[in-house]
Structure 1
Amino acid sequence: MDDEVLHREVIAAAVIARAEELGGFVPVDELADFPLPDGSRRRLVDPGGGGIWNPREFVATLSIVTSPDGPYADREIEGGLYQYSYQKGPEGGKNLKLRAARERGLPLLRLHKARPSFYVPIYPVYVVDDNPITREFTLSLDEVLRVVHGAAVSPIEKAYAERLVQQRVHQPAFRARVLLAYRSQCTVCTLKHPDLLDAAHIVEDKHEAGVPEVSNGLSLCKLHHAAYDRRLVGISPDYRVHVNADLLEEVNGPMLRHGLQEMHGRVIDVPTARSERPDRQRLSLRYDEFLAG
């Protein structure tokens, strides 16, 4: 059993490292034949397109796929938990090894679909409950939240769970979708290093219009994200970059000159798909804040 846990840890670490290289996601074709540190290669997704992958030599499920628009009624529930439907088919089937993961307390690799053929890895995930009546498993994002669905959750536990889901599921998925839409480059300067790129909200997520959609996001390098958040750089509804007037007059070395001042008046690069381009109304709201600032 210890060897299987170690093997899972090695696989998950390699997948997460690869995702970090690419911008938070891994293409499904890589997951179908994934290279491991020891030089071997391993399939990490079901070749038939199912959501549960049970390698023959593993005593329990290795990975599961979750999708916000999949054919099952999978969903988040209170307490940082996730309801995951049994795979359709005859009684037992691939669900048996997922049940074994619960019985043995083994961690799973969750592959959350950011967009077709691209997945965000989340690890570890645990199976904490199994309901054969509703044909659903309950999953938890960490050991602290290993509670049976339906148990009372304190306000502190609830807040912790919500923060955990935001940090480990929602934020990485949003970043992956935005970077994929912007072809993994900064929309202002076209820097193409994913590890130096962020997914910035146009309208902050605490605002009612701050939904985690690509049209409310911008792919920005660390410099331009910080400048955008501090109202030193604004982007108008016509997709044009504006630099704070005082900053334009400042003299302070090549980074300021080339990294910020020369961006003034530039038109940003936007996604090819119109539905993913920055929403002009949200840009207007944020641009007004830049002008006021």
Structure 2
Amino acid sequence: MSQLEAEGFDGRLRSAAMAWLDRRCTPDNPVVERRELLGFEFEGRRVPLVDNQLGIRKPQGLTAALSILTTYTSDGQRAPYEDALGPDGFLRYKYQGNPQHYTNKGLQEARALEVPLIWFFGVQQGLYLPFYPVWIVADEPAESQVAVALDESQANLAGHASLSPLERRYSERISKQRLHQPVFRQRVIRAYDTSCAMCRLRHASLLDAAHIIPDREERGLPAVSNGLSLCKIHHAAYDANILGIRPNLTIQVRTDILQEVDGPMLRHGLQEMDGVTLTLPRRRIDRPDLEAIEQRYETFRKAG
């Protein structure tokens, strides 16, 4: 294959992979299984979008890496994934072992050629949330890592010699909104078997991942144990301190709300929640952190 043919193959493959993900991943089901990624076919042959063993995928015939992958691990077995966020607000991705490994060279080539990649982020065993297109915008060999931009506006910031405080905050906000928040949502909702922990509503499009300790606070980590899968009405009510969660994991509705007289949504949607016990994830490690529940309950009591 000539260099010109390789360049054409590279571009067609990247475009086809991202177009397939556009069709495959919907708002109600934005995740993709590993077996599907391994079975991807392009121009009559199988071209896996992820490596069978490595985190960086560089198919034969491509100079630059096609995708990077973050394996799912539960919160108790890993550091919170904000640790991958650098002081400039860009996310970092670690090399695959030896810096001279061909996959790491593929990341460096992706940066030099400015080609887009796909980032597959594990939200459950064998299940990934894809982010694309992303770009490698800096190589940091001393730390065995590269910096990743999640959209073009963030990538444009990478060319600045130094970022202003405003630019750093903007870059950090992009990283959190485009990766951290969607990953947190998927992990929490799936831990609760795609249902509201309060009313058991099972429509994914009507569910949110609510923080117990708000993410603006130091302890407000995007860990499943700091999250609750709540329908939109109960998420809003929880954030507004209309209802709270006692340390014994039962729901308490604010006294003035219990005394109101209104239509069926107030009666069935809120008032009848008083005293209901939360439905919890099957895995103990995914269940609410009781210290966080107690801290948040004190906020609710003071508000009432």
The TM tier, using the shorter chain, reads: 0.7 to 0.9
- Of 91, 102, 108, which residue of structure 1 is paired with 2:117? 108
Contact 2:251-2:274 within 8 A present in 1 as well? yes
Whether 1:54 aligns to 2:63 is no
SS in 2 for 1:252: coil
Higher helix share: 2
Counterpart in the other structure of 1:200: 210
Show the counterpart of 2:37: 31
Task: Give 1:247's aligned residue.
Answer: 257
| Identity across matched positions, percent | 41
The Cα shift of 1:224 comes to 0.5
Q: Take 1:43 and 1:64, find their aligned partners in 2: how far apart are those partners?
A: 12
Which amino acid in structure 2 is aligned with residue 108 of structure 1? L
Of 116, 127, 131, the residue aligned with 1:122 is 131
- Cα deviation for residue 139 of structure 1 reads 2.0
Structure 1 counterpart SS, 2:174: helix
Structure 2 matches for 1:157-196, cutoff 5 A? 157-196=167-206
2:90 is aligned with 1:65 = no
Give the AA of the match of 2:38: A
Is 2:89–2:169's contact at 8 Å kept on the other side of the alignment? Answer: no
Whether the 8 Å CA contact 1:233–1:290 is kept in 2: the answer is: yes
1: CA distance, partners of 2:40 / 2:203: 22
Tell me if the contact between 1:86 and 1:137 (Cα under 8 Å) persists in the aligned partners.
Answer: yes
Alignment of 1:1-293 (within 5 A): 3-4=12-13, 6-14=15-23, 17-18=25-26, 20-22=27-29, 25-33=31-39, 43-47=48-52, 49-56=53-60, 60-67=64-71, 69=78, 75-88=84-97, 91=100, 93-130=102-139, 135-146=144-155, 151-292=161-302, 293=304
- 1:132 Cα deviation after fit: 5.7
The amino acid of 2:181's aligned partner reads Q
Deviation of 1:91 after TM superposition, in Å, equals: 4.1
Distance apart, 1:248 and its partner CA: 2.4
- In structure 2, relative to structure 1, the CA distance for the partners of 1:30 and 1:220 (3 Å cut) is farther
Note the residue ranges of structure 2 that are not aligned, 5 or more in a row: 1-7
> How far apart are the structure 1 equivalents of 2:221 and 2:87?
20
Give a deviation string over 1:1-36, Cα, whole Å, max 9, x none.
Answer: 564554344134235x34x323x5434334334699
C-alpha deviation, 1:145, in angstroms: 3.1
1:234 deviates by 1.2
Instruction: Count the aligned residue pairs.
Output: 284
Contact 1:188 1:268 in 2 (8 A): yes
Query: Structure 1 residues 262 and 27 mapped into 2: Cα distance closer, same or farther (>3 Å)?
Result: farther
Please give the secondary structure, in 2, of the residue aligned with 1:21.
coil
Alpha-carbon distance change, 181 to 266 in structure 1, aligned in 2, over 3 angstroms: same
Q: Provide the alpha-carbon RMSD of the alignment.
A: 3.1
TM-score computed with the length of structure 2 as normaliser: 0.80
Cα deviation, 1:70-120, whole Å, max 9, x if unaligned, reads 9xxx93322232333333469452344433322332211111223432322
Q: Structure 1: where are the runs of 5+ without partners?
A: none
* Contact 1:12–1:123, Cα closer than 8 Å, also in 2: no
Counterpart amino acid of 2:249?
A: Y
Matched letter for residue 287 of structure 1: Y
Q: What CA distance in whole angstroms lies between the structure 2 residues aligned with 1:132 and 1:211?
A: 29
- Distance across 1 between alignment mates of 2:278 and 2:238: 13
